[in-house]
Every structure is written in C-alpha cells, then in structure tokens.
Structure 1
C-alpha cells in the first residue's frame, strides 16, 4: 500500500503547487513551492526506481502503473523540472521587477508550469494507451498557453502553429490507438482494459498483423510529431524560441522524450505482432531525416534559441536511431541520452534566457564577448554547449558512443555512417555559433540591462554537474537502466 502511494506523489505535488499559486499568486513562498513540487516528484521517482529495478511493477487505482522504464522517465521529468523551475524563480521574479510581466501573468505562468509537469508525469504513469494519449493531448493544451505567454504577435503565431501541428499529430496517434483497440478487441480484450499495457503485451502475438501495421505507422507519425521528429518537426523551432526560457527547457528536455516514450511502449507491442523490421524502417527513416534537416538548418541559423530548438531535432533523431536498433545496449544508451540531453538542454535554454535578459537580443551575431563581459553566464552556456556537442566528460558522449556501437553490431553500419556524418556537420555549426557568442570583443548591444547577470546561475551549475557525473559513473542508475532496457530492448 505504501509503495503504491509513490505513484500519486508525482501527480499530487505539482497539483498542490499549482493550487497554491492560483490562490496566493506568484510570491516568494509559492515560487519556491513550485521548485519543491518537482523535487518531491524526483524523490518519489527514486523510491519507485528502488522498487521496480528488481522487476516488480507498482500499480494504483487501476489506472496507474510503474515499472523500471516508468521510474526512469519520472527521474528525467523530476531532474529537468527541478532545474527549469529553479531557474524560473529568477526568470519570473526579474520580469516582475522590471515590469516586463504582470502579477496576473506570473500567476498564470506558475499554475500552467505545474500543470505541465503533472500531465507529463501522468503520461508515463498511465497503465493504458488511451490514458497516455489523453495525457499527451493535455500537455498540448497547457503548453499552448505557455508558448503564447508574452501575448505578442510572434508568440501567439507560434502558439497557434504549435496547436495546429501537434493536435494534428495527436489526432493521427488517436487513429493509431483506435486501430490498436480494434486489434485488441479481436484478441479477446474487453472495454478499456483492452488498451492496458499488460493485456497488450501478453496478447501481442494474437493481434491482427494488418491492423497493427497500420496502427504502428500512425502511432510513429502521430507521437513522432510531438517528439519533434522530421518531417513533422515544423512547430518546434517557433514554439521553443517564443516560450519563456524555463518552459523551453521543459519542452525540449522532457516533453519530446515523453512523446518518444509513447513510441517505445507501442514499439514493444508492434514488434511482437509484426517483427522488428517494420518499426525499424519507420524509425530509421525518421532518424536520418531529422539529422539531415537539423544539419542543413543549423549551418545558417541566426537565432540562438532557434539554434537550440534545431539541436533538439538532432538529438531526437539519435534517439530514434537507437530505438530502431532495438537491442538492450541500444535502449540503455537511448535512455541515458534522454536524461543527458534533458539536463544539458535545460541548462542551455535557461542560460539562453539569461543571455536574452542581458543583451535584449536573440541574434547570434549581436551577442559577442560573453566570456569577457559576463564570465559566469558564459561559462555555464559554454559548458552546456560542450555537453550538447557530446564531448567528455558529459554523458552524451557515452550515450552517442553506445548508440553507434549497438547500431553497428546490429548490421546498421551504413545508418551509423550517415547519421554521424550529419552529426559532424551539426558539431561544426554549433561550435561556430557558440564561438561567435562567447569569444571576441563585446558588441554594442551587450551592456547589461539587469542588476546581476550572474543571478540564477546556480541551477545551471547543478544541471551541468549532474550531466558530467552521469558521464563519469552511472552508480545506482546502472541497474535501473538495465532493467528498463530489458523491458523494451531485444536480447
């Protein structure tokens, strides 16, 4: 009974923080309650991981279920949300002080961020494909208001584009869910229980192959839209560039991965029903397309927030490449990549928000000499770029190496060669843009417009330390990674 209560904490903690903000408004106490809520979520995730690493699953209320994969995703949500909400305390506080936002807007922001975290937690805790779909649709509704938070022309246009494209993708995923339900009913499922993960996994071999082929294609396209995979990625650069920096951190660092989590869950069922070849082909196509588009668009990118958004497409492409490989080593590397990318991107987007506050511009060419003018902020942003580029000691180095090794061992050497050819182009583009911003003499626009440019660096430092620690030693995370990879990966 007590262990089952662990499943309610990730939902209850953000809900209570949202309620406190709605009642009391954005105050110092409610702002830090917004940080405490994801910290409690992270604590519950650690407890859930301790129970599920042995192979045991937790259930609660007939709707919630957690195994090792769920526990790992809760760790990702909690870790990234702590960094983002902690940075958000300084971000919103400064906007209120300078008059760039109102008390009502700050209250709305605090409520919506906590609702965002809760819906993502619900998505990974759902014991039912239908409930998972509902949770992901709820994230679309909540984040649409966050993307349009500033209510100017650019942010409202980005919010509408996000709603239209992601809702279209979710609608396609709904059709895939209906197909899975039809196949499950023919296999003996009854009512909503026909979409329970346990039933679908146990009866996967009995699902109609023709229906499941259609379902798998629709699900990869539908949830892949929300995960930012090409060619369904068009919403991502606009939404990430217009949302408040902590929200961009949550969207890039967690939301994309939660959407891909849905693909991983469905992949297990589709592979049992159809064999691994079908979903492998779909994911390989999406992976290479994502990497190619990210490489082409990053070369000439002029906006550093959009640059980080296109980098997210690259990393989701690498995640798709590992998932296409499908072995346990590949899935373990994918999960490590998801966590490392989430932490690194949270640091970079929150750092980008600080740079925007200091320089009042998001143009790369207008930001020069950050290392000279604002060394602490530049160091955090520069190290974040090092992590994003997959250089040691950060964890993306180990995860990218693991994905390449696993894919090569699975006979996908040609895909690895193509994928990492695009990665080299992306590496050069990001390094050039980063050097432009960090080095050289200061531009005319870079005079500080805030009292303390180094304010809010602490959460970025914590995120960088966590990312570096994962690259050096996995420690107690290793058994959880192995258990989660066993649930999804082929022997």
Structure 2
C-alpha cells in the first residue's frame, strides 16, 4: 500500500483536473498534486534508502536504489513542469491559442503521463513495465499533437508509429524472457518478476536471453531516443508544449533506459557482462556521433535541445556499457544532472517562444536585454548541459571518461577518445548557436519583460538542483549511486 499511494495521487489529480471546470482552481489542484507526489516520493525513497529495497502487494511492486533515482527525477521535474505549465498555459489561453476546456484535457494527460512513468519504476513485473512504457506513448501522443496544427499532427503520428513499432519489438524480448523463465519456474505467477528472474538468471538459455536483449535494446531504445531509432524524437520534442518537452527529455527517455538497464542486469548474470555491455557501448556511441551534425547546423532551438538529449542518452548508455564502478556511478549521476539541466533549457525555450513567437534562432537576438532573467537562466543551463566546469555534467562526464581511459581495455579507450572529440564539437555547436541569440540588439517589436512569475519560479526551482549537485553531491545521493553500481554489477 505504501508504494501504491505514489501511483494513486497523480491519478486522483488527473481526474480532479477534468471535473473542476474553473481554471483558477484546477491549476492549483495540478500544482498541489505534483507537490504532494514529490513529498511522498521523498518519504518513500528515504524508507528505501534505509532498507535498501521495498516490496508491495505480494511482490508486485519493488523499489531499490535504481528506482529511487528515477522516481526522484520524475517527481522533481514533474513538479517543476506542473508549476511551469500554469504560467505557460495561462499565456496560451490569454492569446487564444488554447481554450480553458482544452486546458482540462492538458492537465489530465499531464498527470496520467506522470502516473505511467512512475509505474515503470515501481513495478516488479517486466510485463507490467512493458505496459507502462506503452502507456507513456498513449498519454503523450495527444500532448505532442495538442495544438492540432498540421506540423503537430505529423509529429504525433510519427511519434506513435515509430514508438509503437519499437515497443512491439520490445514485447518479443519480454516473451522470450518469459519463455526462458518458464523452463526454470514452471507455471507460477511471479515468473516475470524481476527479482525472481535475477535469482535464477544463470540457469536460463543463453541464446534466448541474448536474442531477448537485442529486442529489448532496440525496442526500448527506440523510446529512449538511441540512434538510429531516434527519428521521432526531434519532431515530438519540438512540437509538444515546452513543459511536455521538458518531461520528454528529462524524464521519459530515462524511464525507457531504466527498462534496458533492468534487462542488462539479467543478461549479464546469464551470459556474462561482455555481451550486453558491448551492445550498449555501440548504440551509445552511435547516438552521440549521430547528434553532432544536427547540433552544429541546427536553426530551431527546440530541435537543438532535442538532439542534445540524444547525445546525453547515448553518453549514459556508454557509461553503463563501460561497466566500471566510476563509469556506472558517473552515468547515473549524469542521468540526474541531464534531467534537471535539460528541463531548465526547455523551460527557457518555452519563454523564448512565448516572447518571440518563433523557434528560428536566426530571428532571435538580444535575449539578455529583452528577458534578462530568462537570458541568465539560458546561459547557465547551456554551460551546464555542455559539461562546462564546474557544473555537474562536467563531473559525471569526467568520471565516465576517466574510468574508460583507465580500464586497460583498448576497445573502451578508443570509445573514450572518440567521446572527447564528440563532446568538444557539441560544445562548439551549442555556444555558437545559443550566444547568437543571447547577445546582439533585440528587434523593436519585441516587448521587454518576463512572461510569467510562475515560469521564472519553476526555472529557479530547477536551478537549485543544477547548482547544488554541481558543487556538492549529498552523501545520500553518493550512497544511492554506489548502490546502483552494486545492483547493475549484481554484487
């Protein structure tokens, strides 16, 4: 029951937002519901932190250190996005872009999206995890096409078709895992429970498990934005409302990667770590390299941030694939750092769009003069996301690369060397593109001033996490990251 309550709160909030017809009330319900989920997740994660793991409903639910990190990211970014949504959507309503009736649908889908992502992280059953990841697609398709214009509908269709194909391939991986477990367990109810599978993974058919992991990596990797299955991501991120874009990049991609890591652990115990680690490194490096040309020549700032997400998910995947203590530790730290910094970037993007009415970077000048607070947030977020010292992403990238270069494995050292080159090129692309918008003289037609106090408050909330983790990693977070390494390496 203690875990179930984490799922009940966003569902109740979603339903309440539908039936409360007055926006002046529903917006506070949305914020309160998100804040309550955040507080309860902190309480829940503290209990798991003390006891290492937590079960619920006859082992249907299961949470450990890996769950703690992902659920905390969901609830932190979720609350910030709920707060930002109120200011952002009120501006859309004021301009006649969105009606108050449609706004109720937005809040409903928003909180059902939070619910489905939380379900991914708390379920012990790999079949239910598959259902939850598919549910994130269904709830967000309508959010991608929320404005009902041609480009939004095209992005929504592209999103649902590509991700549905991917999730179907992942289903084959789940079925093959089920078939392998059936030969060991027989006909019992918990044969797809991750904790049960892990105890007997070394008795599974290695050929079936290898094939299952390929399906899982391609299937869930499609939803995670790994190249070359990433083609839906730039369109969906650029056309969705900015709060949803933040949830896509900061949270949704991590949930899909969470599923891959769970299967990676089982595969490693069955056939050894070399097989799945190699696949993770290859797909991770392809993702990082594939993002570079689009970042260098990009003219749409939301698509720029979307391609950056592909790069960072690839980097995290590489860190997990390297397999060393500091690389896994750094990869999971990178997950948190990327989530808060990229969400902050998309909030900045939302403010820029409301102010300038365009996503074309060539049409935007003098951000620091037009919207000085947003301009400062944008500069900080860009330096943070590109791994500039002393920000947290620099620390996590340093840990992964240091572990890669010191591994003694020629293959990993080559990958690490390529990563350094890629990170440098991406830094150049970001600085060149963003600072052209930040500096210069603004056009006279753009009014000066910030869009909304609520949007600034939500950005300030995320900035706290960006700065705190940059200069000081709290002891409890360090222990959680260490525990995640122990889980990934099955120590």
Q: Which band: TM-score by shorter chain?
A: over 0.9
Query: Unpaired runs of 5+ in structure 2?
Result: none
- Are the aligned partners of 1:329 and 1:402 in contact in 2 as well (CA < 8 Å)? yes
CA distance in 2, matches of 1:163, 1:419: 31
1:289-438 counterparts in 2 under 5 A?
Answer: 289-410=286-407, 411=409, 412-438=412-438
TM-score (norm 1): 0.96
Shift of 1:443: 3.6
Q: Deviations over 1:185-233 (max 9, x none)?
A: 1122434411101111001100100100100111011000000000000
CA distance in 2, matches of 1:230, 1:379: 32
Cα deviation for residue 453 of structure 1 reads 6.1
Residue 9 of structure 2 corresponds to residue 13 of structure 1? yes
Structure 1, gaps ≥5 residues long? none
Shift of 1:38: 2.6
**In structure 2, what is the Cα distance between the partners aligned to 1:197 and 1:253?**
25
CA contact (8 A) 1:194 1:200 kept: yes
Which of residues 20, 25, 39 in structure 2 aligns to 1:24? Answer: 20
How far apart, in 1, do the equivalents of 2:317 and 2:456 lie? 32
When structure 1 is superposed on structure 2, of 188-197 and 299-308 the one drifting more is 188-197
With over 3 angstroms needed to count, the CA separation of the structure-2 counterparts of 1:301 and 1:189, relative to structure 1, is: farther
Deviates more, 1:141-150 or 1:397-406: 397-406
Question: How far apart, in 2, do the equivalents of 1:219 and 1:26 lie?
Answer: 44
Q: How many residues align?
A: 486
In the alignment, structure 1 residue 459 sits paired with structure 2 residue 455: no
| 3-state SS, counterpart of residue 391 of structure 1 | coil
Does structure 2 conserve the Cα–Cα contact (< 8 Å) formed by 1:335 and 1:481?
Answer: yes
TM-score relative to the length of structure 2? 0.96
Q: Secondary structure at the match of 1:456?
A: helix
Any idea what SS the aligned residue of 1:117 has?
Answer: helix
Between stretches 10-19 and 232-241, larger displacement belongs to: 10-19
Q: Evaluate the alpha carbon distance shift between residue 40 and residue 482 of structure 1 in structure 2; reply closer, same or farther with a 3 A threshold.
A: farther
Q: Quote the offset at 1:56 in angstroms.
A: 3.3
Which secondary structure does the structure 2 equivalent of 1:194 belong to?
coil
Instruction: Indicate which of 140, 155, 159 corresponds to 1:162.
Output: 159
In the TM superposition, residue 251 of structure 1 has moved relative to its aligned partner by 0.7
Paired position in structure 2 for 1:469 = 468
Q: Which residue of 1 aligns with 2:82?
A: 85
Using a 3 Å threshold, how does the CA distance of structure 1 residues 445 and 67 change in structure 2: closer, same or farther? Answer: same
Q: Does 1:48 align with 2:47?
A: no
Q: Which residue of 1 aligns with 2:483?
A: 483
1:358 and 1:391 mapped to 2: Cα distance? 28
Partner of 1:230, secondary structure, is: coil
Q: Residue 38 of structure 1 is aligned with which of 21, 34, 47?
A: 34
- Give per-residue Cα distances to partners, 1:110-167, cap 9 Å, x unaligned: 0000000000000000111000000000000000000000000000000000000000
Where does residue 275 of structure 2 map in the other structure? 278
How far did 1:445 drift?
Answer: 5.7
Determine the C-alpha separation between the residues in 2 that align with 1:51 and 1:451: 40
Contact 1:14 1:114 in 2 (8 A): yes
1:171 maps to 168
- Match of 2:295, SS? helix
After superposition, give the CA deviation of every residue in 1:326-352 in whole Å (9 maximum; x if it has no partner): 233222212211111111111111110
CA distance in 2 between partners of 1:390 and 1:227 (Å): 21
**Residue of structure 1 equivalent to 2:439:** 439
Worse overlay, 78-87 or 26-35: 26-35
Give 3-state SS (helix, strand or coil) of 2:62's partner: strand
Question: Helix, strand or coil for the counterpart of 1:59?
Answer: strand
The answer (yes or no) to whether the contact 2:69–2:480 under 8 Å persists in 1 is yes
After superposition, the Cα gap between the structure-2 partners of 1:51 and 1:212, relative to the gap in structure 1 and judged at 3 Å, is: same
Q: In the alignment, is the contact (CA less than 8 A) between 1:136 and 1:259 conserved in 2?
A: yes
Matched-pair contact (CA < 8 Å) for 2:374–2:450: no
In the other structure, the counterpart of 1:196 is: 193
Distance in 1 between residues matched to 2:373 and 2:341, nearest whole Å: 17
- The answer on whether the counterparts of 1:366 and 1:443 sit within 8 Å (CA) in structure 2 is no
User: Residues 133, 455 of structure 1: CA spacing in aligned structure 2 closer, same or farther, 3 A cutoff?
Assistant: closer
Map Cα deviations across residues 298-346 of structure 1 (whole Å, 9 max, x no partner): 1110100000000000000100111101233222212211111111111
Aligned-partner Cα distance in 2 for 1:483–1:369 = 46
CA distance in 2, matches of 1:231, 1:490: 29
Alignment of 1:68-217 (within 5 A): 68-217=65-214
The 3-state SS of whatever aligns with 2:185 is coil
Equivalent-residue separation in structure 2 for 1:484 and 1:54 (angstroms): 14
Looking at structure 1, the residues matched to 98 and 366 of structure 2 have their Cα atoms a distance apart, in angstroms, of 29
What secondary structure is seen at the aligned counterpart in 2 of 1:151?
A: coil
C-alpha distance in 1, partners of 2:196/2:40?
Answer: 26
Q: Secondary structure at the match of 2:389?
A: coil
More displaced stretch, 460-469 vs 244-253: 460-469
